[in-house]
């Protein structure tokens, strides 16, 4: 496989051409040390991740790892599926560091660093948790808007908070807080979405006082205040009465930062352009996307897209076409993306006016479709487990396995099942249970190659098991923190040292600005 030296890759990052840097490690390993513009493409999900991150197979692509050899495996796979311009970073991330270049810990680093830049550049006002507590107790007119997705809000929330994810804020705030005398406080778990949410409202020109909660729910708890759990309060899911004002403000913001407009026909045509990568991203709430979306677009809720751009966009210099129904959410999101990464950003004006597709669809994975594994149903598996005739291997994200897994199941990661096979019984049938059928099929093939016992797949996975009325188990300590390489553990995901992890995380976010300056490959707000 062709190699590229660190200095040559550094030059490629600055030559203005399209370039994707894909890191083949699992997110937890990636989070230990990686290049600034590297994007996770773990081997365990490469069949789906690579196709989504590289819409065009002749994109210049460099594979990276931590020196373990995963990058070579990813590069070989990319070549197998038809990618024509693939190289491996010589020496991996350690080689990059040895060459004198900056490495970063954590995940979503460009987005996180951008949030810190926004706060400094726009002088976004914020308040500390004790000040918010005093305001809540005083009874002054105010609303607390939580800019995270509902699942995060449900886990821990500021008292009185309402769930209004990032892209919804400027779209709906005038209906939520119509009185100019109402103070609006925006929070997230830490800093980035608080800052971007609050600044979005300021850029939208609302007359209210707007502030970010400094350090979010983590700062709230570190200050000695209690979060609430299980909250479900959410914005009213209708087109806002204040749409005209929101759209006018969003247009002005987008125009200032070079966001362009295109038609549905033009967006579709862009996907066929030779030499240019185009991402079609729908920034509405996932429920709206499922109700009907442009064929070929992906669900990328606007607030999360800015907060974690590397989940959807890997190619530097690409085009991004954003979709929503009214143009507010796409324009607000587009203006931030332009300032973050300089991509050529379009808002598709009429994307939903023609034929649309319902649901979320299933990823096309030819490698899995070609396999014909033997399946067992949930009742059949229950009987086998009762007789001691089966052992379940569950292919689920580690953090989700802790919350719900089949009784007696062993947790596994695709790409590493050969090592697990030696620990499994040879006298019991092995049953692979996966959240995604494509993943379970591929895991079964991998496991069978290393195991002595026959391998089957649970039809419908853990969801079918639960639907059939069989119990699931929870164990917060299995797998242990150190084994959760497939997930970058947030401070509140940890089983110990949560407070220290919160403080470390918040300090890390603040210090990103200096590291980015040393790296020199981000030009926030100054893209041509």
CATH topology of domain 3-106: Oxidized Rhodanese; domain 1 (3.40.250)
Map residue 87 onto helix, strand or coil: strand
Q: For the chain, which ranges sit under pLDDT 50?
A: none
Give the per-residue pLDDT at 528. 52
Residue appearing with tokens 């009214």: 326
Map residue 406 onto helix, strand or coil: coil
Pairing of strands 375-376, 390-395: unpaired
- The alpha-carbon radius of gyration of the chain (Å, integer) is 24
- 6 contacts 89 by C-beta, under 8 angstroms: yes
Output the six-digit token pair for 107: 């995940």
Residue appearing with tokens 């913001």: 253
Question: Of all helices (H) and strands (E), which one includes residue 19?
Answer: strand 19-23
Nearest of 290, 336, 345, 346 to residue 167 by alpha carbon: 336
Q: How far apart are CA 427 and CA 441, in angstroms?
A: 22
Q: Which residues contact 517 (CB under 8 A, 6 or more apart)?
A: none
Q: List the beta bridge partners of residue 220.
A: none
Q: List the beta bridge partners of residue 146.
A: 163, 187
Nearest of 341, 270, 331, 262 to residue 302 by alpha carbon: 331
Give the per-residue pLDDT at 361. 85
Map residue 134 onto helix, strand or coil: helix
DSSP 162-231: EE--HHHHHHHHHHHS-STTSEEEEE-SSSHHHHHHHHHHHHTT-SS-EEEETTHHHHHHHTTPPPB-S-
Write out the CATH class of domain 251-348: alpha beta
Output the six-digit token pair for 255: 């125009």
Map residue 426 onto helix, strand or coil: coil
Q: Please, where in the chain does CATH 3.40.250.10 lie?
A: 3-106, 113-241, 251-348, 370-481
Give the per-residue pLDDT at 362. 86
How many CA atoms does the CB half-sphere of 163 hold within 13 Å? 19
- 80 contacts 54 by C-beta, under 8 angstroms: no
Among the four given CATH numbers 3.30.70.120, 3.40.250.10, 3.60.21.10, 3.10.20.30, the one describing domain 370-481: 3.40.250.10
CATH number, domain 113-241: 3.40.250.10
| Residue 405, Ramachandran bin (φ over 0: left; ψ between -120 and 50: alpha; else beta) | beta
- 209 contacts 183 by C-beta, under 8 angstroms: yes
Give the chain's end-to-end CA distance (angstroms, integer).
Answer: 34
Taking the CB of residue 450, how many other CB atoms lie within 10 A of it?
14
Q: Percent of the chain, pLDDT > 70?
A: 100
Distance of CA 325 to the CA centre of its chain: 22
Map residue 490 onto helix, strand or coil: coil
The tens digit of pLDDT for each residue in 485-504 reads 999 999 989 999 999 999 99
Map residue 132 onto helix, strand or coil: helix
Give the per-residue pLDDT at 250. 98
Nearest of 426, 424, 390 to residue 407 by alpha carbon: 390
């Amino acid at each position: 496989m062709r190699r590229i030296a660190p200095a040559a890759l550094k030059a490629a990052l600055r030559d203005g051409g399209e370039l994707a840097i894909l890191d083949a490690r699992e997110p937890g390993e990636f989070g230990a040390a990686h290049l600034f513009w590297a994007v996770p493409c773990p081997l365990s999900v490469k069949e789906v991740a690579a196709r989504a991150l590289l819409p065009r197979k002749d994109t210049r692509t460099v594979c990276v790892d931590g020196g373990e050899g995963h990058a070579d495996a990813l590069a070989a796979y990319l070549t197998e599926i038809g990618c024509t311009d693939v190289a491996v970073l010589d020496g991996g991330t350690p080689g990059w560091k040895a060459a004198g270049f900056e490495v970063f810990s954590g995940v979503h680093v460009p987005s996180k660093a951008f949030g810190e830049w926004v706060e400094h550049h726009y002088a976004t006002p914020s308040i500390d948790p004790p000040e918010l507590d005093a305001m809540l107790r005083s009874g002054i007119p105010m609303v607390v808007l939580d800019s995270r997705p509902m699942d995060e809000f449900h886990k821990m929330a500021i008292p009185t908070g309402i769930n209004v994810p990032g892209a919804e804020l400027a779209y709906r705030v005038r209906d939520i807080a119509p009185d100019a005398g109402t103070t609006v406080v925006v929070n997230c778990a830490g800093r980035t979405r608080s800052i971007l949410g609050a600044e979005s409202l300021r850029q939208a020109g609302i007359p209210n006082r707007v502030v970010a909660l400094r350090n979010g729910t983590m700062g709230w708890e570190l200050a000695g205040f209690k979060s609430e759990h299980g909250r479900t309060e959410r914005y009213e899911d209708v087109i806002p009465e204040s749409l005209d004002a929101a759209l006018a403000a969003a247009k002005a913001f987008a125009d200032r930062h070079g966001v362009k407009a295109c038609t549905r026909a033009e967006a579709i045509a862009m996907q066929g352009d030779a030499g240019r990568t185009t991402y079609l991203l729908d920034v509405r709430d996932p429920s709206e996307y499922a109700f009907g979306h442009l064929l070929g677009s992906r669900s990328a809720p606007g607030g999360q897209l800015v907060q974690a751009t590397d989940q959807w966009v890997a190619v530097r210099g690409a085009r991004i076409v954003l979709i929503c129904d009214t143009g507010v959410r796409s324009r607000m999101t587009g203006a931030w993306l332009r300032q973050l990464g300089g991509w050529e950003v379009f808002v598709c004006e009429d994307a939903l006016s023609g034929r649309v597709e319902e649901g979320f669809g299933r990823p096309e994975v030819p490698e899995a479709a070609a396999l014909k594994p033997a399946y067992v149903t949930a009742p059949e598996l229950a009987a086998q487990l009762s007789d001691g005739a089966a052992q379940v291997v569950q292919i689920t994200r580690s953090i989700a396995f802790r919350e719900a897994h089949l009784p007696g199941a062993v947790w596994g990661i695709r790409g590493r099942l050969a090592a697990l096979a030696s620990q499994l019984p040879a006298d019991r049938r092995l049953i692979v249970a996966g959240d995604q059928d494509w993943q379970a099929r591929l895991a079964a093939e991998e496991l069978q190659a290393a195991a002595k016992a026959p391998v089957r797949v649970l039809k419908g996975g853990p969801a079918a098991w639960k639907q059939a009325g069989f119990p699931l188990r929870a164990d917060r300590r299995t797998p242990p923190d150190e084994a959760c390489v497939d997930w970058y553990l947030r401070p509140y995901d940890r089983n110990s040292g949560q407070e220290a992890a919160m403080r470390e995380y918040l300090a890390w976010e603040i210090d990103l600005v200096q590291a980015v300056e040393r790296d020199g490959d981000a030009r926030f707000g100054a893209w041509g």
